Amino acid sequence: MFYEKLRRLGFRTHHVKQIYTCALSVVMFAKANGGKKPVLRKLTARVDKYDCKLDLDDVALTLKLHNNHEVKLKLIA
């Protein structure tokens, strides 16, 4: 239902699936909790296997973000 809207915002396909799954769990918990409004205490993000690439030659970790942006982190040994 929200797939196209989330894709237009720049989220990758597997991110859309995770967003939907997380939102569904929040709604189900709220219904089980007597219908009280859910409160988000902190925002979290999980790194999926499709989101990162470890380069052992350069000792760097590349993270793929939404809108096709990438962040390369140099790891210190």
Total tally of structural domains belonging to the chain: 2
If asked whether residues 16 and 40 sit together in one domain, one would say yes
In this predicted structure, what is the pLDDT of residue 71? 92
Q: What is the pLDDT along the chain (77 residues), one digit of tens a residue?
A: 788 988 888 888 888 888 888 888 888 888 888 887 777 788 777 777 888 899 999 899 998 887 788 999 999 86
Sign of the alpha-carbon dihedral angle for 29, 35, 41, 46: positive
Look at the pTM and tell me if it is higher than 0.85. Answer: no
If asked whether residues 37 and 5 sit together in one domain, one would say yes
> Which structural domain range is residue 72 located in?
47-77
If asked whether residues 51 and 32 sit together in one domain, one would say no
If asked whether residues 51 and 38 sit together in one domain, one would say no
In this predicted structure, what is the pLDDT of residue 74? 93
If asked whether residues 39 and 61 sit together in one domain, one would say no
What are the b/e assignments for 42-66, b being 16+ CB within 10 Å?
eeeeeeeeebeeeeeeeeeeeebee
